[in-house]
Structure 1
Amino acid sequence: MEKNVELPDFTKNNYPETTKSAVLNKTFDIQLKDTKLGKMGSHDLLIKVMAVGICGSDVHYYDHGRIGDFVVKKPLISGHESSGIVVAVGDEVTKFKHGDKVVMEPGIPCGKCKYCLAGKYNLCPQMKFMATPPVDGDLSQLIIYPDEFTYKIPNEMSYEVGSLSEPLSVGVHAAQMLSIQPGKSVFVSGAGPVGLLAIMAAKAFGASKIIASDAEPERLACAKKMGADTVIDVTEQDVKTTTNDLTNGEGVNTVIEASGNVHAEQDALLTLSRGGKIAYVGMPAQDEIPLNMPFIQGHEIQIFGVFRYANDYPISIEILTENLEKAEMLLTNFYSLAETKSALENTRTNKQHSLKTIIYPNEQLRKNN
């Protein structure tokens, strides 16, 4: 267990009725409020939230108030990349105990629809996903969460690294879709936090050659540290030409497009070899993106849309456990719960020098340099 972490002595029948939370009232309006905790069920855990990573979607709700059909119509608790410590357990909980370090998978599916029964619960129409309107997130000092979607992390893993399980699971899901394995080449388009963790996932799945691109030098440097063999500065190099040169004119076997940039989504496709596969992870700002259909058909390209993840958290925790030092490199900015607005502003406006921002709902374990 990490130092300086206070462990409350709660029970399932004796805990506060309210907790402090960072609440998005409307665009650019974040306020610290007392919010209701609710009742613990027999399979629930009471979790003291220790670290929450800021995601691009949190920023988008903060500055736009919506993502597609999901609109902030009433106050919403932000945050969904989280880790914490168990401080009370329900009557029928057997896998967890008081004091366990955990991470929380932020989506709770219905468990009964055809998608859930097929193991593709990320596609569940009734999914309740944290910080996606109208479902509250976990930027709170305490949350009640089902044990089924909670996972232990090893004591040697920091809470901050544990919170990376969520974005890494996106990369793991993409890697499995693309069947990344030894002998395969991978191009990761966009070296933001999701792209950098996708590099880590591709490396863990055995990719023989990893190429990454971005417009920011600091992110490209980090991509090399994550496991990229070669990086492409898109402000100076043409992506298609460079990847062709690096693959003897054949193109790469697989692509993970993680930027969501309209031009990057088009260019990434053209880096593929015949029979190649591309997974679109980054969410573009517009609904429709023109793609080169003759290229897709003539090269028999397989295109995958990636929507979150399913059954990937255990693999992500294992990968992080084996890459603790690398994962620490992604952690760049640290804020208290009361500083949530500043954290979102910095993430929104300081992409050049900011990778993963961490908010501490309770004790602040680290501070900015």
Structure 2
Amino acid sequence: MGKGGMSREGHGEEENMAAWLVGINTLKIQPFILPTLGPQDVRIRMKAVGICGSDIYFLKTLRLADFIVKEPLVIGHEAAGIIEEIGSEVKHLEPGDHVVIEPGISCWRCDLCKDGRYNLCPEVKSLATPPVHGSLANQIVHPADLCFKLPDNVSLEEGAMCEPLSVGVHACRRANVGPETNVLIMGAGPIGLVTMLSARALGVPRIVIVDVDDHRLLVAKSLGADETVKVSTKIEDVSGEVVQIHKAMGARVDVGFDCVGFSKTMTTALTATRAGGKVCLVGMGHHEMTVPLTPAAAREVDVIGIFRYKNTWPLCLEYLSSGKIDVKPLITHRFGFSQKEVEAAFETSARGGNAIKVMFNL
């Protein structure tokens, strides 16, 4: 598979270590050899790395959808750090710059890339998606054009939050939300919350957020949800819960975001959204689901999906710098970079509970 081992020999630098996923529920901090620095690459000392739901899926099952971990993999892809070295052709960055990284490396040659939809590139190499190594390491090498300089008033931790925030921004763009759109969000986990923050930044006047967990609903309310609705996991409760959602909204639901991706959450979103509205599937909880598409089609409810994000980093950084979006309250737990702390951090994130975003400070 990719390259493991030390940071570049002969530079008199310390050994480069990374968190490797070596088996189900097994992470080990081991050496990680970096690839040679290309003319358009940069070498980055990682400072802030967040744990994503996909990292947890890989840890628990060694797979997510069609991506399977077949050999040891460096994990992590929500990341920010400080430039240590630049390639000979890099002009817009220099050593010492604080940067956030966009983790997907597209081919830039296929029709989708040329059409600007590079997130759908069939050849995309995404950090921490097998077999491509991730960023939970002392240092990584990454293309310079996928590194964005942080504004002076945006911290490295906030920079690392640009990756999940990008999912929310991309979802809101796909659904074309704005000042005349009332929004329903299924799920008050990290992605539901960043979708809510993105919708508000884009001018959405009313947002109702739905979850099964009281604590997450309290967090959603504290971050600006207009109303929250607690629901069950039972599919037979959908019709009654839709009545509650409509009451909480006090108006029609123009766009529903399913940030969970279960048959029940998608059924609720499709049923609650008005005729002629849109439902955007963001979460991928179930590989396949059974939903009432025919009644939704009869009401001309458009169903759209998203995959990751595209061209979102500059806007995310502008939102963070201007204060339009504050992601700091989402970071609930912090850990250092030792074997014990890496294990504890992933246990904390997997357990859920009060944990929203678990962050490593390297």
TM-score (norm: length of structure 1): 0.90
- SS of the equivalent of 1:326 reads coil
- Aligned equivalent of 1:39, options 22, 32, 36: 36
**Residues 349-364 of structure 1 aligned to structure 2 (within 5 Å):** 349=351, 351-360=352-361, 362=362
- Structure 1 residue aligned with 2:343: 341
**Residues 287-326 of structure 1 aligned to structure 2 (within 5 Å):** 287-323=287-323, 326=326
> Which stretch shifts more, 320-329 or 131-140?
320-329
Contact 1:49-1:141 within 8 A present in 2 as well: yes
Task: Letter of the 1:293 partner, please give it.
Answer: L
**Residues 204-243 of structure 1 aligned to structure 2 (within 5 Å):** 204-235=201-232, 238-243=240-245
Residue 76 (1) aligns with residue 66 (2) = no
User: Residues 158-195 of structure 1, C-alpha deviation per residue, up to 9 Å, x if partnerless?
Assistant: 21111110011011111011110111101111011111
Deviation at residue 325 of structure 1 after TM alignment:
7.8
- SS of the equivalent of 1:260 reads coil
Deviation at residue 227 of structure 1 after TM alignment:
2.2
- SS of the equivalent of 2:353 reads coil
- Structure 2 residue aligned with 1:262: 263
User: Residues 21-71 of structure 1, C-alpha deviation per residue, up to 9 Å, x if partnerless?
Assistant: 000001111001011012111111111100111000000000111012211
Q: How far apart in 2 are the matches of 1:175 and 1:206?
A: 11
Deviation at residue 98 of structure 1 after TM alignment:
1.4
Q: How far apart in 2 are the matches of 1:258 and 1:296?
A: 19
Deviation at residue 152 of structure 1 after TM alignment:
1.0
Structure 1: unaligned runs, 5 residues or longer: 1-9, 363-369
> Which stretch shifts more, 252-261 or 168-177?
252-261
Contact 2:43-2:142 within 8 A present in 1 as well: yes
- Deviation >6 Å, runs of 4+: none
Task: Letter of the 1:289 partner, please give it.
Answer: M
User: Residues 320-355 of structure 1, C-alpha deviation per residue, up to 9 Å, x if partnerless?
Assistant: 223388311111111112221211111111x12100
Q: How far apart in 2 are the matches of 1:334 and 1:15?
A: 30
Task: Letter of the 2:291 partner, please give it.
Answer: L
- Structure 1 residue aligned with 2:181: 184
User: Residues 134-173 of structure 1, C-alpha deviation per residue, up to 9 Å, x if partnerless?
Assistant: 0000000001111111111112222111111001101111
Q: How far apart in 2 are the matches of 1:75 and 1:294?
A: 44
Query: What number of residue pairs does the alignment pair up?
Result: 348
Q: How far apart in 1 are the matches of 2:152 and 2:214?
A: 34
CA gap of 1:230–1:57, structure 2 versus 1, over 3 A, is same
Percentage of identical aligned residues:
34
Q: How far apart in 1 are the matches of 2:289 and 2:56?
A: 23
- SS of the equivalent of 1:270 reads helix
CA gap of 1:283–1:217, structure 2 versus 1, over 3 A, is same
> Which stretch shifts more, 238-247 or 255-264?
238-247
**Residues 1-369 of structure 1 aligned to structure 2 (within 5 Å):** 14=11, 16=13, 18-235=15-232, 238-248=240-250, 251-285=252-286, 287-323=287-323, 326-338=326-338, 339-349=341-351, 351-360=352-361, 362=362
Q: How far apart in 2 are the matches of 1:94 and 1:184?
A: 41
Contact 2:258-2:269 within 8 A present in 1 as well: yes
CA gap of 1:16–1:108, structure 2 versus 1, over 3 A, is farther
CA gap of 1:166–1:107, structure 2 versus 1, over 3 A, is same
- SS of the equivalent of 2:38 reads coil
> Which stretch shifts more, 45-54 or 231-240?
231-240
